[in-house]
Amino acid sequence: MKKTVLAALLTGIAMAPAQLAAQEAPPSTTDSENFQVIGTVPPLCSVGIPDNTGGIFDMGVLVDTTTGLLRTDLAAPDKILAGAFCSSRSTIAVDATPMQALNFVGTPAAGFASAVDYVATASGWTVAPASFDTAATSNPGASQDRASAFTGNISVGVSDFATAGGATLRPVADDEYLGEITVTLSASE
């Protein structure tokens, strides 16, 4: 029994310095908690704003007034879509319709056509421009992929005009031939 009392006494004496140290430590004056700040950015695209020349390629008189055949020198400056962007990888696509005689009714007479084909391009977004030929049955180059987010200008151009049906056909007289080009940017996740 004496041994048990002595052991308890010695244990109490051994614990006393630890208890004293715990009691002597000053209380904590700071505490902290961490918070995370989170959010999302969805994939976004904007095709940009057309330059001050607007969205019209005015080709003027389409034919050589001496021969009545489609002019071989038809050209127009590119239109610029300024400030285009996609916040993720993306696809640019170009689509176009032939220039059709808007007021002409019926089937053109032999030797004449009521449409003019051309090639529409959208460049500056991808290494290879997106390109659409209105005379082609297939346009695999009309859609191009970009692997990363990007911002920049897109140049839209027209070239390679040809009378629908062949170069020996003459476009019918009409006050307005109209075709349309559509450039689309699509974000990919």
Of residues 25 and 180, the one with the higher pLDDT is 180
Check whether domain 45-187 has CATH 2.60.40, yes or no = yes
HSE-CB at 46 with a 13 A cutoff on CA atoms is 11
DSSP at 91: E
> In percent, how much of the chain has pLDDT > 70?
86
CB contact at 8 A, 94 and 182: yes
The pTM of the full predicted model, rounded to 2 decimals, is 0.81
Q: Which pLDDT band, with edges at 50, 70 and 90, does 6 fall under?
A: very low
Dist CA 123 CA 142 (whole Å): 11
Query: pLDDT of 110-153, one tens digit each?
Result: 999 999 999 999 999 999 999 999 999 999 999 999 999 999 99
Dist CA 52 CA 72 (whole Å): 27
Domain boundaries, the chain: 45-187
